[in-house]
């Protein structure tokens, strides 16, 4: 066989541990768009409620989206929005939890990305210039590598 090969990491010998991953990101938009979202005036409906559901649903589908990602048993996924920024953005935080042999980082990251994409989809009719940015792993715990906390982003 020519070319590079891919392989899934064998997690068989790993111990099951409680694992938690938190990812963050944001979507920037015009101030007018943010106001429409906050006042429930987007024609497609409740943007934040549907974007929360989209993130949770996407986390559960992560191994179908990321080819080498192991299916994991999620015990909880949360998606929350930070509306305190004055820069016309909406912050997104997702937390994925469970017990398993591999981490939940990808599930948390996918939840943030899908939530942001859903916001974009619901609001693109009024603001095509929205920007999804800064999606990153904020923290994780569990497993052999232990605790990771990202440096504070400015």
Confidence (pLDDT) at 153: 67
Confidence (pLDDT) at 84: 85
As averages over each run of 10 residues, the pLDDT of the chain (154 residues) reads 81 93 97 95 97 98 96 97 88 97 96 98 98 97 91 75
What is the model's pTM? 0.94
Q: What is the CATH number of domain 17-145?
A: 3.30.70.640
Catalytic, out of 46, 80, 85, 121:
121
Confidence (pLDDT) at 115: 98
Long-range contacts of 61-69 (CB under 8 A, 24+ apart): 61/110, 62/106, 62/107, 62/110, 65/110, 66/106, 66/110, 67/6, 68/6, 68/7, 68/8, 68/9, 69/106
Residue 85 known to be catalytic: no
């Amino acid at each position: 066989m020519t070319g590079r090969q891919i392989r899934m990491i064998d997690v068989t010998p790993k111990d099951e541990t409680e694992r938690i991953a938190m990812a963050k990101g944001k979507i920037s938009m015009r101030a007018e768009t943010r106001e429409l979202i906050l006042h429930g005036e987007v024609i497609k409906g409740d943007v934040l409620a549907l974007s929360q559901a989209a993130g949770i649903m996407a986390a559960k589908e992560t191994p179908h989206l990321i080819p080498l990602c192991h299916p994991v048993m999620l015990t909880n996924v949360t998606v929350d929005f930070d509306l305190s920024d004055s820069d016309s953005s909406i912050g997104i935080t997702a937390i994925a939890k469970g017990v398993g042999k591999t981490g939940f980082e990808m599930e948390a990251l996918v939840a943030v990305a899908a939530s942001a994409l859903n916001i974009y989809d619901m609001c693109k009719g009024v603001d095509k210039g929205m920007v999804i940015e800064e999606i990153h792993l904020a923290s994780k715990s569990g497993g052999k590598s232990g605790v990771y906390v990202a440096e504070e982003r400015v």
